[in-house]
């Protein structure tokens, strides 16, 4: 039988629900998934019957971020190669921000690193209770790919999250303005459906320009320049070739991602795991 599609498309009365479909890998974003996601978005944008787009993840999580196994095995090389790779990921993420149609992220389980950036690029985020969110890239020698967070929650909270790599739960994320709503897990899809139905009542000729207005406000505040600067510095960080980065990649290649995450957590003494601030990140299935 053919492999199942990495992005599933479900038609709804208000538009379309796109599902990230690598559940065994916690919907880690690899090249195939990113390309399929952009293609699905392109199709939804050209369909007049689609008023609203919802993005969700299959299985245990929304998305654990970019596929670390793929990166560790890729031997990407110096900052020029890294910047080219990161620029493609940034462009894919910003496609959701720049879509003329409203996009809702339906988040559960985990929304981490590039997965959280993808959710942040959506217009609204609705999360299930108990969801963990954060950008732990600094803990394995990397950096955020698309620098959205400071434009959503401000510098101080962003610095705390990005410099520590800590995760927060959905209730805290709502309190600081990172997400819009928290609902019980069994009510998540219904709440998103209700919100999508409300958005679908606005004509596209009004919704699209309103989104552009909001995006331009971010641009006036320096958003696109910040993203470009983040690309340049992120490429340098990823190509730094520190002993910790080399050890991380070596463990991933030799023993798998679960072992690498355990090594990382020992380094950061995850005694805070489970209190809403520690990493507490599950590993995807290595097989």
Q: pLDDT tens digits, residue range 165-176?
A: 999 999 999 999
Specify whether 191 is catalytic.
Answer: no
The pTM of this model reads: 0.91
Task: Give the single-character DSSP code of 185.
Answer: G
Catalytic residue chosen out of the listed positions 71, 117, 135, 191: 117
Cα–Cα distance measured from residue 139 to residue 269, given in angstroms and rounded to the nearest whole number: 12
Break the chain into its structural domains and give their ranges. 7-267
61-117: pLDDT as tens digits? 999 999 877 666 656 778 888 888 889 999 999 999 999 999 999 999 999 999 999
Average of pLDDT values for 154-163? 96
Catalytic residue chosen out of the listed positions 56, 71, 135, 137: 137
From first CA to last CA, the distance across the chain in angstroms is: 19
Residue 71: its pLDDT value, please?
A: 65
The CATH class given to the 7-267 domain equals: alpha beta
Specify whether the CB–CB gap between 106 and 53 falls below 8 A.
no
Cα–Cα distance measured from residue 8 to residue 22, given in angstroms and rounded to the nearest whole number: 10
Band of the pLDDT at 11, cuts 50, 70, 90? very high
Average of pLDDT values for 195-218? 97
Specify whether 135 is catalytic.
Answer: no
Q: Listing from the earlier edge strand, what are the strands of the sheet with 7-11?
A: 7-11, 15-20, 52-57, 103-107, 124-128, 181-183
Residue 251: its pLDDT value, please?
A: 87
- Which residue has better confidence, 106 or 143? 106
């Amino acid at each position: 039988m053919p492999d199942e599609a990495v992005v599933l498309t479900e038609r709804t009365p208000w538009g379309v629900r796109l599902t990230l479909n690598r559940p065994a890998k916690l919907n880690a974003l690899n090249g195939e998934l990113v390309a399929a996601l952009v293609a699905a978005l392109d199709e939804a944008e050209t369909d007049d019957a689609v008023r609203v787009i919802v993005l969700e993840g299959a299985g245990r999580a929304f998305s654990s971020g970019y596929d670390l196994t793929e990166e560790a095995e890729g031997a990407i090389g110096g900052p020029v190669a890294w910047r080219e790779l990161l620029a493609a990921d940034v462009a894919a993420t910003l496609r959701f921000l720049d879509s003329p149609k409203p996009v809702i992220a339906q988040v559960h389980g985990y929304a981490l690193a590039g997965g959280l950036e993808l959710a942040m690029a959506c217009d609204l985020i609705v999360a299930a209770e108990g969801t963990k969110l954060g950008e732990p890239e600094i803990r394995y020698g990397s950096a955020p790919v698309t620098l959205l967070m400071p434009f959503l929650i401000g510098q101080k909270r962003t610095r705390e999250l990005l410099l520590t790599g800590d995760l927060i739960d959905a209730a805290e994320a709502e309190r600081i303005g990172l997400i819009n709503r928290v609902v019980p897990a069994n009510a998540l899809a219904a709440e998103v459906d209700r919100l999508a139905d409300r958005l679908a009542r606005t004509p596209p000729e009004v919704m699209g320009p309103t989104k552009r207005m909001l995006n331009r406000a971010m641009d006036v505040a320096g958003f696109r320049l910040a993203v470009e600067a983040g690309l340049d510095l992120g490429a340098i960080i990823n190509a730094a070739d520190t002993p910790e980065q080399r050890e991380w990649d070596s463990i991933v290649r030799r023993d798998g991602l679960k072992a690498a995450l355990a090594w990382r957590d020992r380094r950061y003494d995850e005694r805070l795991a489970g209190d809403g601030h520690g990493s507490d990140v599950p590993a995807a299935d290595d097989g």
